[in-house]
Amino acid sequence: MADLTKDQIEKILSSVNDAYTEQDIISSNTVDSISVDDGCVKVNVVLGYPANSYHAKLESDIINALKSSGITNSKVIIDTKIASYSTQKGVEAIPEVKNIIAIASGKGGVGKSTTAVNLALALQSLGAKVALLDADIYGPSQPRMLGVSKLKPETTGEGKLLPILGHGMQCMSIGFLVDEGSPMIWRGPMVTQALEQMLRDTLWRGIDYMIIDLPPGTGDTQLTLSQKIPVSGSIIVTTPQDIALIDANKGLKMFEKVNIPILGIIENMSLHICSKCQHEEAIFGSGGGESMAKDTKVNFLGALPLEIDIRTDVDEGTPTVVKSPESRVAEIYKEIAMKVSAKLTQQEKAVSAFPSITIE
């Protein structure tokens, strides 16, 4: 034990794989430091994505790998450090926001907004600081889904909007600024201007991930997103239904054309289990999202069932991840959140602007 070198310990630890980056913890530079103190091997691990629920499993894997090599006295410390990742060139960064992830769908009715709010809350539950921007100007739904539809944002002396807190998460939506029943009869330029103002005129604070809930389709809002908003990655939400997959594929190709990385595909409403008899039925078909991911060589992030609780939870303003954090559905959202954020770590990190130097 006394003669054990750092290189030998690293060789042992190279057998431990991170379940979400799918890389070993040595080659991926996840191990920050190794030391031996009074016969105890201490390993400091720094994950680049939020994964509180995975820490115990990873710690156990490391300790067991060391034990299998005869090292019985060890201590593992796991921390998280979330970096900013590259976006489109020439787009101005948003102060206090490290990463922006766009949630999109080719058509409406596939559960994109429900997925967006639960995914955002899942990231928060895993230890990240998260914001949610509702970019659907014509049909904002996030205020009601977060249970804060009656609140109005305050403004600072400089004219900045203070984000509304929904279940502890910073959020902004046009739904906070107009009456819920008022239709937005606006032309495209007004919509895109409103989106930019909500994003840049809101006083965000210390955000690791901002989730943007896009309207369905590939119109003005999506074009503004690609040209003027720094997006680290995108997610496509679809159902297994053939017609939904056709439109989802259009959304995917749109992101490819504007050089925004696609982090993966989520299949929603994949399977219905009868609450009375437990009979399973694929109402919208089966395997469509996974098949699309395979055909387009994009990550398949997971499938969510067609369950009434998912719908009623957001209608009540308490999304499933908050209302039933230990439920099977909440665990699926958390798994997807870890896959998404881990996938992001495999991109290039954002390059900070070079500091100005003054010589006197």
Within 8 A by CB and 6+ apart from 283, the residues are: 269, 272, 306
- Residue segments in the chain with a per-residue pLDDT below the cut of 70: 1-3, 352-360
CB of 245 closer than 8 Å to CB of 238: yes
- Cβ burial of 103 (10 Å; 0-12, 13-18, 19+) is buried
Written as six digits, the tokens of 4 are 């054990």
Structure tokens at 23: 């890389």
Give CA–CA dist 247/252, Å, rounded. Answer: 9
Strand 207-213 to 262-267 pairing: unpaired
Q: Which helix (H) or strand (E) holds 207?
A: strand 207-213
**Angle (CA) 188 191 192, round 5°:** 90
Number of residues written out for the chain: 360
Sign, Cα dihedral of 217, 219, 220, 222: positive
- Paired tokens of 95: 């102060």
CB 177 within 8 A of CB 143: no
Q: What is the pTM of this model?
A: 0.91
Q: pLDDT of 156-203, one tens digit each?
A: 998 899 999 999 999 999 999 888 777 777 787 888 888 899 999 999
Question: How far apart (Å, rounded) are the C-alpha atoms in residues 235 and 219?
Answer: 17
261 with 125: CB under 8 angstroms?
no
Count CB atoms within 10 A of the CB of residue 152: 10
Buried b vs exposed e over 66-84: b needs ≥16 C-beta within 10 Å?
beeeebeebebebebebeb
Residue 217, Ramachandran bin (φ over 0: left; ψ between -120 and 50: alpha; else beta): left
Asked if 268 and 224 touch (Cβ cutoff 8 Å), the reply is: no
The CATH superfamily label for domain 6-80 reads: Fe-S cluster assembly (FSCA) (3.30.300.130)
Amino acid, single-letter form, for residue 347: Q
**Structure confidence at residue 3 (pLDDT):** 64
Residue with tokens 């303003």: 317
Closest C-alpha to 177, from 198, 158, 156, 160? 198
Give per-residue pLDDT as tens, 271-330. Answer: 777 777 777 777 777 788 888 999 999 999 999 999 999 999 999 999 999 999 999 999
Q: Which long-range contacts (CB under 8 A, 24 or more apart) does 156-162 make?
A: 156/203, 159/201, 160/201, 160/202, 160/203, 161/198, 161/201, 161/202, 161/203, 162/202, 162/203
d(CA 248, CA 242): 10
Domain boundaries, the chain: 6-80, 97-344
Q: Which CATH superfamily is domain 97-344 in?
A: P-loop containing nucleotide triphosphate hydrolases (3.40.50.300)
